[in-house]
Amino acid sequence: MAKTKVAVLISGRGSNLKALIEACEDPSYPAEIVLVVSNNAKAGGLQHAQDAGIETEVLDHRDFDSRDDFEDALDTLLRLYAVRFVCLAGFMRILTASFTERWRDLLINIHPSLLPAFKGLHTHERALETGVRVHGCTVHYVRPEMDNGPIIGQAAVPVLHDDTPETLGARVLTAEHQLFPQCVALACSGKARVAAEHVRLQVREFGAELLMNPHD
Residues identified as active-site: 111
Contact 95/71 with Cβ under 8 angstroms?
Answer: yes
Phi, psi of 141 (to 5 degrees): -70, 145
CA 201 – CA 84 distance, rounded (Å): 20
Hey, how many other C-beta atoms are within 10 angstroms of the C-beta on 94?
A: 11
CA 127 – CA 117 distance, rounded (Å): 9
DSSP string covering 71-119, please?
A: HHHHHHHHHHTT--EEEESS---PPPHHHHHHTTTSEEEEESSSTTSS-
